[in-house]
Amino acid sequence: MKLRFFPAAVLSVVALTLAGCSGSTPDSDVASGTDDSLSSVLDSGTLVIGTEGTYRPFSFHAEGSGNLTGYDVEVARAVAAELGVDAVFEETQWDAIFAGLTAGRWDTIANQVSITPERQAAYDFSTPYTYSTGVIVVPADNTSITSFASLKGLTTAQSLTSNWYTLATESGATVEAVEGWAQSVALVEQGRVDATVNDKLTFLDYQKSNGADNLKIAAETEDRSESAFAFAKGGTALADAVSEALATLTADGTLAELSDKYFGADVSQ
């Protein structure tokens, strides 16, 4: 059984918050400048995690109605174990997930939350546990598409409401509208469009689940997206403790193993 321990810095935070935050509410804690985000989790013995439960392969129910599982779910469970507490998941729709965090219904969100400047202004974040890029997916025998500039004058299949539609059109592609990834990749496989632009994780999941030896990544964006655990603003003690747990899980290979399980590649760094 793996022993769990807390670094001295974390223990110091716990001691201070336990001494000064007893019986306080989240709003009064913020107003008084104290932070009991970590001590309250340790006291309760649970880390309550907001997640969708319908977002494969990150947070979903096996076989549709089985146990909650997924990459984010397993990472969250491993983090909770490092903290020495139980992981408790509360499922909700994406549109309500941040409101639940602000209201204190859960301690954190594990649902592929991308770190953006707008979100950083409103929430605290752990260090990232997922990194991804935008990619061009083409037939495996395609040799003409080697960059996003190569898409000029070609046709890609995209959802009109996604940021990948914007990237494709900015690259000069003509877009055939589809409802989502399943339709877009089918059109590529059938040779009805030249390519599709999407998130690398989406393609890796598809490749892992379906083989997809007939497809390949032709090019990737230079910029990477980063996904992390999100916390209510001011919950830095818990965010820091989760970041330390993630560092341990990186060092001992746990995140790499979970990445390979779901994506066939290490997407954790």
Residue-wise burial string across 194-213, b where 16 or more C-beta atoms lie within 10 A, e elsewhere: bbbbbbbbbbbbbbbeeebe
| pLDDT over 60 at 50, yes or no | yes
Q: Are both 195 and 241 inside the same structural domain?
A: no
| pLDDT over 90 at 13, yes or no | no
Mean pLDDT of 206-219: 94
Residue 178 falls in which region: left (phi positive, over 0), alpha (psi -120 to 50) or beta: beta
Q: Are both 31 and 65 inside the same structural domain?
A: yes
pLDDT value at position 161? Answer: 85
**Count of structural domains, the chain:** 2
Domain enclosing residue 169, as ranges? 134-220
pLDDT value at position 33? Answer: 66
Q: Are both 143 and 206 inside the same structural domain?
A: yes
Domain assignment present for residue 178? The answer is: yes
Contacts with 256 (C-beta within 8 Å, 6 or more apart), sequence order: 250, 266, 268, 269
pLDDT value at position 214? Answer: 96
**Residue pointed to by tokens 């020495």:** 84
Q: How many CA atoms lie within 13 A of 265 on its CB side?
A: 15
Q: Are both 23 and 84 inside the same structural domain?
A: yes
Q: Taking the alpha carbons of 39, 40, 43, 46 in that order, is the dihedral positive or negative? A: negative
Q: How many CA atoms lie within 13 A of 199 on its CB side?
A: 19
Longest dimension (CA), the chain: 66
pTM of the model: 0.81
Residue 89 β-bridge partners: 49
Q: Are both 198 and 233 inside the same structural domain?
A: no
State how far the Cα of 60 lies from the Cα of 54, in Å rounded to an integer: 5
Kindly give the pairing relationship between strand 86-91 and strand 59-61: unpaired
Q: Are both 31 and 121 inside the same structural domain?
A: yes
